[in-house]
Every structure is written in structure tokens, then in C-alpha cells.
Amino acid sequence: MVSYKTSSPQQPVPHWQTRGHKRSKSLHLAIAAAVFCTAFSGSATAQSSPEAMIADALRAAPPNILETATVSDLAGNMLREGTSDYTCFPAPDGIAGPMCMDSEWRRWMAAWMGGTPFTAERLAIAYMLAGDSPDGGASNIDPAATLPTADNEWIVEGPHMMVITPDPSVFDGIPTTINTDGPYVMWTGTPYVHLMVPVDKRPEQRSIPSQ
């Protein structure tokens, strides 16, 4: 699950359905990549070497993507050139696990971090096969939450995949709570809604601070 947001968050404002000026697809993806890497660049300490960062990033990938993905550090510097649409990133220290995302998911990430509207243009899958950091995780109901509380359904997920789609209604009928033994829908009712698909056991959960 995604939990890379590190600055003091602001609740998304009700402009999710605002129409902006059209940009070319290449420019849009370039902007998304810039926002994504800028948001990450201050959130992780330096890894020991490019080789160590590559190894950490690829912990998120399934076998086929392991061989073909581009690998980038959290400042946007390419560490390994790939041949597929996927880019894998190492884990920000103490926040979340490594992640492999295609261009549509990178666009999603930039929108979420910027609190801007997002609608997927196609079905897309991201991989976090190393799971979340023990000190990471995310609220299942609040995209802006940064800490667990008694009522925000905080979850530290194990190895999982994530799915976005242009029509979130295809998720109707799938549980929206983390108390389930299969896939569940995260951030329902927001532009950042996505399907969580656990593929291994869930780790020990973080304690909830006393109120």
C-alpha cells in the first residue's frame, strides 16, 4: 500500500472534478514524473550504493518485471535502464516499501501527492511485493492520513498488488474494509480509489497511539 506522503498533508479540496486545460500526453507524464520524484527526494536517506538501491527497488517486482523494469532513485536519477513501462523505486526509509509502477500509476501518484484530480485512462497495476515498511502503512479510508488513529483503519500490508481503473464501479461488491481475507478497495469515494490485492500474509500491525 502506498504511504509515501511525508509533508504535512492537506485534505483534498472539492475540485476533483474540475476541468483543466488539455496537455499533450508526453508533457502530462513528464510533469507527473517530476512531481513524483520531487515528493520522494527528501524522504529517504542515501542508500549505500546504486547497486544497493537497485536491489532494494526490485524487491517489489514480480519475475518478468524484475528483468525489464527501469530503476530510479527517489530523486529521479535513473539507476538502470529498462525496456518496459515499469519503473521501480527503493523504499523511503521508515515510510513504505519499494514499489514498481507503470506510467499510469506514476501519474496517479503525482496526482495523489499534489491533491489534484485524477481519472485513470486505462486499467493499471502496481506491485509492492516486499510489502509495507513496519513503520509505514496507510489509512484505508483517508488518503491524507499520515498516522494511525483509532478510527482511520490504518493498515500495514504485506506483499500486495494494486489496481486502478477508469471506472471504479467495477470494484462494486468487493469489500471496502481491511477486515477481509481477500482483496479490498482502498480510498473509496475519492479520485485515488484503488483495489488492494494481498498476495501473502499480513505482518504485525502498528500500535495505535492513545488519544
- The two beta strands, 87-89 and 78-80, are unpaired
| β-sheet with 78-80: strand ranges across | 78-80, 70-72, 87-89, 99-101, 124-128, 160-164, 194-198, 184-186
Place of cell 483517508: 142
- The pLDDT of residue 40 is 52
CB 161 within 8 A of CB 99: no
* Closest-CA residue to 193 (of 159, 167, 173): 167
**How many residues comprise the chain?**
211
Q: Is the pLDDT of residue 140 over 80?
A: yes
Place of cell 496537455: 23
Tell me the pLDDT tens digit for each residue of 21-49: 333 344 344 444 444 444 454 444 455 79
- Determine how many CB atoms are found less than 10 A away from the CB of residue 134: 13
Q: How far is CA 16 from CA 4, 11, 13, 71, 209, in A?
A: 21, 12, 7, 31, 32
pLDDT grade for 6, boundaries at 50, 70 and 90: very low
> Domain map of the chain by residue range?
25-198
pLDDT grade for 211, boundaries at 50, 70 and 90: low
The amino acid occupying position 39 is A
Tell me the pLDDT tens digit for each residue of 65-118: 999 999 999 888 999 999 999 999 999 876 689 999 999 999 999 999 899 999
Overall pTM > 0.85:
no
